[in-house]
Amino acid sequence: MKNWIVTCLAIVGLVATSGWAQQTADTDAFERQLFHRAHDALTEVIVADIFSPPVASRIYVYAHAAAYETLVLSQGGPYRSAAGQLPGLTPPPSLTLTGVHPALAATEALLVVGRSLVFSEKRLDDLAEKLWQQVGKQGYATQTITASRTVGRQMASHILAWAAGDQYKQTRSLRRYTPQKKPGAWLPTPPGYMAAVEPYWRRIRPLTLDSAAQYKLVAPPEFATTTDSRFYRSAREVRDVGNQLSPEQRLIANYWDCNPFYLNTQGHMNFASKKLSPGGHWLAIAGQVARQSGADLLKTSTAYFLTAVALFDGFIGCWDDKYRYNVIRPETYINAHIDESWKPVLQTPPFPEYPSGHSVISTASAVVLTHLFGPNRAFTDSTEVPYGLPPRRFTSFHQAAAEAAVSRLYGGIHYREAIENGQKQGQQVGNQVVRKLQLVALPAKK
């Protein structure tokens, strides 16, 4: 009889333990999904508000800094705070963590920071409210949700105070950029002939770089119009490649277009198509790989945050060189000196050509994601499916980055030198992020 009772109790205990484990697994899965959906909600608003790629990177980096710092403060483990590692970022003031659920607090921190940096606050509020309604249906105690959101808002305030010192506000009041009137200098391009984007971005405080010019590139080929010059040959290559694209090359060009403001022109009517920014695409990749690899919430947050830092510093270094060298776009040069009727596959972005921003930030992102997930992490990228393009399969982050880089040649908007040197700068930026921002503590050597 005694043995029978012991056996029954053991079975009951096993069932209870199994049920608890399943409940815990379900909760973890829900919280990871909640976090991804919060990021996606922020991206939706960034796209709707048509932020330029550099400005979008700023929104992302501070939002994910808030989320990451909240999780580290609550959970810790092998992960370390970025406070003291990034300029001006200090530990947050004492926060009451009693009854706080880390995932809920981090989600609130991300959304509150994001709301403070976008234009369409109401739109993000509405998306956030839907997320919190789902949280309420998961059985979390009301006091837990309240305490968690309070801590999230407190962390958001701390991060926003840090963000306020990065010179962004000051650059908003600088005078409008006037294109230089000299041979070889950048000029606005059709169809919109839009003003130069973020000509003063070099003044923004970098996070891991010593300065915007830390990885200053070698000068591009000297401007010339003679047919035997290097500059002319580079431009002719862009024209020739664009005229002979295979269906796969054309698909690659469009897949990595990531133009936040594509201007459609039909007769006298103009209207914009809003799309994901290049940085948004790479953060989407970070999120997809976190899902596909089964990463826990802290590793997921680390992937978003490190990628966002690489994007942010990558744009600062890239934009410094863009306006230093101020190189004419292929479309302008080819129309003036080679073929006046030629048009690129992609719409030329409104800023100088050298180096290729895609090459810089894609390579930098690949470096940090490889650091986190390994060199042979294959993945499927479905980022462009909402824009009518099929998923693409990559064997590694660096393969994806290389394809993103060469897509700018296929698209007709960059010379080869801008692509290859941009990749070099991106490698340097990515290495700097990994070296300077050590979020995951390495095991002690024996």
DSSP string, 18-61: HHHHHHHHHHHHHHHHHHHHHHHHHHHHHHHHT--HHHHHHHHH
Going residue by residue through the chain (446 aa), what tens digit of pLDDT does each one get?
A: 444 443 343 333 433 334 434 556 688 999 999 999 999 999 999 999 999 999 999 999 999 999 999 999 987 678 999 999 999 999 998 999 999 999 999 999 999 999 999 999 999 999 999 999 999 999 999 999 999 999 999 999 999 999 999 999 999 999 999 999 999 999 999 998 999 999 999 999 999 999 999 999 999 999 999 999 999 999 999 999 999 999 999 999 999 999 887 776 666 556 667 889 999 999 999 999 999 999 999 999 999 999 999 999 999 999 999 999 999 999 999 999 999 999 999 999 999 999 999 999 999 999 999 999 999 999 999 999 999 999 999 999 999 999 999 999 999 999 999 999 999 999 999 999 999 999 986 554 44
Q: Is 101 left (phi over 0), alpha (psi -120 to 50) or beta?
A: beta
Supply the CATH number for residue 269's domain: 1.10.606.20
The structure tokens 């953060």 sit at: 283
Are 255 and 299 in a shared domain? Answer: yes
In a domain, 99, yes or no: yes
Phi, psi of 264 (to 5 degrees): -90, 135
Boundaries of domain holding 34: 27-166
Task: Provide the pairing of β-strand 269-274 with 261-266.
Answer: antiparallel
Encode burial over 60-73: b for 16+ CB neighbours within 10 A, e otherwise: bbbbbbbbbbbbbb
pLDDT of residue 26: 81
Contacts of 107 (CB under 8 A, 6+ apart): 34, 35, 38, 67, 131, 152
In a domain, 445, yes or no: no
Are 337 and 405 in a shared domain? Answer: yes
Are 240 and 290 in a shared domain? Answer: yes
For residue 392, give Cα distances in angstroms to 115, 132, 379, 385. Answer: 32, 33, 9, 10
Are 184 and 46 in a shared domain? Answer: no
pLDDT of residue 102: 96
Are 314 and 227 in a shared domain? Answer: yes
Distance CA 230, CA 409 (A): 16
Strand locations in 179-320 (E): 261-266, 269-274
pTM of this structure? 0.93
User: Domain tally for the chain?
Assistant: 2
Q: Which residue blocks in 93-193 are alpha helix, DSSP H?
A: 102-117, 121-136, 142-163, 168-171
Supply the CATH number for residue 127's domain: 1.20.144.10
Are 127 and 233 in a shared domain? Answer: no
